[in-house]
Structure 1
Amino acid sequence: MDMPFPELVPRFRELYPDVVVPRTRPMPGALAAVASVRDAGGSVIVVTGKYQPSAELHLRALGIEVDAIVGELFSDTKATALVEHGASIYVGDHVGDVRGAQRAGAVSVAVASGPCGAGELADAGADVVLASLDDFPAWFGEHRAPAL
């Protein structure tokens, strides 16, 4: 099945909904993290490097409702969407996510359960480094407490 690279992308996107999405599982802590923001009256915005239609399929399959989703943005280019949607906190697992949050003036919450370790995320300038997304609701509750 030799296909030139440009022809592989449409084929991948055609197969993705039936092959990948049904196998989707939420990241540990993701549902509780979203719920903690919702319970506090906040908006949930997903800004991702993933192809937007694929990201939408994943969220729908997981039953996660968001206020907005913006896909195909990487590193500090994520700042445009974060500013546009008024994000004050951005959670990510990559140094590029830290850069995007910094450029947008948002609090960078880095989770060390992805491709980058805690030290790398801290060195990139993350405001907060969590070992797991499971730790987000407690951090978020403490972060919000001074405003109450």
Structure 2
Amino acid sequence: MKEIRIESKLSVYDNSNELPNHIASLMENAKEARLKAYAPYSKFLVGAALLLDNGEIITGSNQENASYPSGLCAERTAIYYAGAQYPDAKIVSMAITAGAQNNINTTPIPPCGACRQTIAEYEVKQEFPIEIYFMGTSGKIVKSHSLANLLPLGFDRSFL
């Protein structure tokens, strides 16, 4: 038997003032998108903003449905829109903010498993890592230099 060790390296910013200006602006776009979420069941609002290599900023918010599996997360809403409207553009950075509607959440909230898999697909497709910044509704912000940091041993087209 052989044992392997998998590690992730993340950066933590105390607040958005520590972010590079273009990322602070991207996070502001994510915060604005979060306020447009449709989450009448969970009351959990998520906003995402993508910076594409062509300079475009794409936003998305979670959209729930009474038939729960029919809803869509903010990250996938933004990614699929970017893929449909700008199929040749690369996603350079992603900013995510999330939290309950009536609570302040200072714990950084990473993408869910389904969103991680979707982000992984686009990293493989574009052959370029996506910087991911995530936070609660305020407070600390975590940065991962790529999705592979958040989803080690990911599943991709190489297995098909």
TM-score, structure 2 normalization: 0.23
More helix by share: 1
TM-score, structure 1 normalization: 0.24
More strand by share: 2
Higher relative contact order (CA 8 A, sep 6+): 2
Which structure has the larger Rg over C-alpha atoms? 1
